[in-house]
C-alpha cells in the first residue's frame, strides 16, 4: 500500500462505464436476442500512486472492467478518463500510445505466457512493438527487469515451462513493466499461486509500486487479500459497485449488506472472537447478468430486503464518513461484523 501523497492527482476517472456483450441467435443472420450486462454503470477514481482493490464473487464483472479500462474491449457507454484524456472511444495511433501507459497482468501465469518463446523475448516483445531502444539496449533492459522482479538475469534464454507459478507471475510483471506504464490492472495476480509464494509476489508488487510510482487496480475475489494491498476498496455485485470506501473504514463500518456478508465470512485467527461472530450466509447463487433482478439487484439474496428493494434501484451515493459510498436503502442499519 502506498502512502497518500499530499496534492496527489486523479490518474483514472471512470464515469458510468457499461460493457454489454450481445447474445445472438442464428448462424447466418445473427439476431441479437439480449445482452450480458457484465459491467452496468460503474464510476470510481484512482489517485496516482494508489491502489484500488476491486472485490466481488465470480461473474460479478471484475475482469471485464479491467479489460475494458485497458481497452481490450470497446465500452458500450461511459468514459475512461486517464490523465485527462477519454480512452473510451479513442482509436488509432492515439490509443496505441495511451495503451503503452496502461497495462494488465492476468490471473493465470500458465496461460498468459506463450510457451514457444524464451522469457527474454516475452519480456522484450512490448519494447520491440513500441520501438523502445536499440536491440542491445532492449537486451540490457530485459536483464535489468529480470533482476528488478527478483529473477536471475542468466535465466533470460529459458522457456516459461522451466518456471514455477510465482516465477511466471514475476515474468508477466516484468513484461508489463518493460514499457514503463503508469497504471496496471492486476487481475487476481496471486489467486493461482500457492499460498506460500503469495506474500512474496504481493511484496514485490508493493515494492515496484513505490519504486516506479505505479497506480494499481487490484482485482480479487478475496477481501482478506486486498486488505493488505489496497488504499481504497470497491465491492462489486452483478455488474455494479455497491460500496466504495477507504480500506479501514470499509472493514470497520460497512454500509452495504453484501460487504457485511463478505466480511463475516473471513475467518478471524482468535478462536474466542471467532466463536462469538455471526456469520452471514447468503442464500442462492449470483443471478445471471442477462436477467438482472428489478429494483436493488441484491434483493434476491439480501437478508435485509424490504418491499421497496424489489421496486426501487438504490442510488450509489455518499454516506456518512469521508468518501464512503454505498447503494442501499437501509445502509444506516448495516452493522459492523
Are 140 and 150 contacting, i.e. CB atoms less than 8 angstroms apart? Answer: no
Are 147 and 141 contacting, i.e. CB atoms less than 8 angstroms apart? Answer: no
63 binds Mg ion (CB under 5 A): yes
User: Among ligand SF4, Mg ion, ligand ATP, none, what binds residue 257 when CB lies within 5 to 8 Å by partner kind?
Assistant: ligand SF4
17 binds ligand ATP (CB under 6 A): no
User: Among ligand SF4, Mg ion, ligand ATP, none, what binds residue 58 when CB lies within 5 to 8 Å by partner kind?
Assistant: ligand ATP
CB of 304 vs ligand SF4, minimal distance in Å: 4
Q: Which stretch binds Mg ion (CB under 5 A): 60-68, 197-205, 242-250, 303-311?
A: 60-68
35 binds ligand ATP (CB under 6 A): no
Give residue 298's Cα distance to chain centre.
21
CA 201/CA 188 separation, integer angstroms: 12
Mark 267-296 with x for binding to ligand ATP (rule: CB under 6 A) and - for no binding.
----------------------x-------
**C-alpha closest to that of 120 among 53, 60, 70, 175:** 175
User: Among ligand SF4, ligand ATP, Mg ion, none, what binds residue 56 when CB lies within 5 to 8 Å by partner kind?
Assistant: ligand ATP
**What is the longest distance spanned by two Cα atoms in the chain?**
68
Q: Which is nearer to ligand ATP, 132 or 286 (CB)?
A: 286
Helices (H), the chain: 62-69, 92-101, 119-129, 135-148, 165-177, 195-212, 223-229, 247-252, 257-264, 271-276, 307-311
Q: Using CB under 6 A as the criterion, which residues of the chain lie in contact with ligand SF4 when the complex forms?
A: 256-257, 296, 298-299, 302, 304-305, 309, 314, 328-330
Amino acid at each position: 500500500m502506498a502512502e497518500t501523497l499530499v496534492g496527489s492527482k486523479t490518474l483514472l476517472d471512470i464515469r458510468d462505464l457499461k460493457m454489454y456483450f450481445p447474445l445472438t441467435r442464428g448462424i447466418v443472420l445473427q439476431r441479437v436476442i439480449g445482452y450480458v450486462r457484465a459491467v452496468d454503470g460503474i464510476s470510481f477514481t484512482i489517485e496516482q500512486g494508489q491502489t484500488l482493490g476491486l472485490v466481488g464473487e465470480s461473474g460479478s464483472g471484475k475482469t471485464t472492467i479491467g479489460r475494458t479500462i485497458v481497452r481490450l474491449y470497446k465500452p458500450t457507454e461511459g468514459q475512461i478518463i486517464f490523465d485527462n484524456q477519454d480512452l473510451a472511444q479513442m482509436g488509432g495511433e492515439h490509443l496505441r500510445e495511451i495503451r503503452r501507459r496502461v497495462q494488465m497482468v492476468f490471473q493465470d501465469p500458465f496461460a498468459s505466457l506463450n510457451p514457444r518463446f524464451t522469457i527474454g523475448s516475452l519480456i522484450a516483445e512490448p519494447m520491440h512493438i513500441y520501438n523502445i531502444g536499440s536491440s542491445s539496449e532492449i537486451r540490457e533492459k530485459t536483464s535489468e527487469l529480470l533482476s528488478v522482479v527478483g529473477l536471475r538475469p542468466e535465466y533470460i534464454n529459458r522457456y516459461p515451462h522451466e518456471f514455477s507459478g510465482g516465477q511466471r507471475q514475476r515474468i508477466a510483471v516484468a513484461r508489463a513493466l518493460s514499457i514503463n506504464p503508469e497504471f496496471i490492472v492486476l487481475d487476481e495476480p496471486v489467486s493461482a499461486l500457492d499460498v506460500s509464494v503469495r506474500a512474496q509476489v504481493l511484496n514485490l508488487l508493493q515494492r515496484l509500486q513505490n519504486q516506479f510510482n505505479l497506480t494499481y487496480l487490484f482485482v480479487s475475489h478475496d477481501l482478506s487479500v486486498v486488505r493488505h494491498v489496497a488504499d481504497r476498496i470497491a465491492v462489486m455485485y452483478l455488474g455494479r459497485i455497491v460500496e466504495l470506501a477507504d480500506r479501514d473504514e470499509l472493514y470497520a463500518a460497512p454500509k452495504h449488506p453484501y460487504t457485511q456478508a463478505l466480511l463475516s465470512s473471513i475467518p478471524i485467527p482468535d478462536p474466542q472472537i471467532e466463536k462469538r461472530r455471526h456469520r452471514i450466509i447468503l442464500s442462492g447463487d449470483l443471478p445471471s447478468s442477462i436477467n438482472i433482478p428489478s429494483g436493488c439487484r441484491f434483493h434476491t439474496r439480501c437478508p435485509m430486503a424490504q418491499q421497496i428493494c424489489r421496486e426501487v434501484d438504490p442510488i450509489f451515493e455518499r454516506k456518512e464518513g469521508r468518501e464512503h459510498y454505498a447503494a442501499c436503502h437501509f445502509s444506516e442499519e448495516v452493522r459492523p461484523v
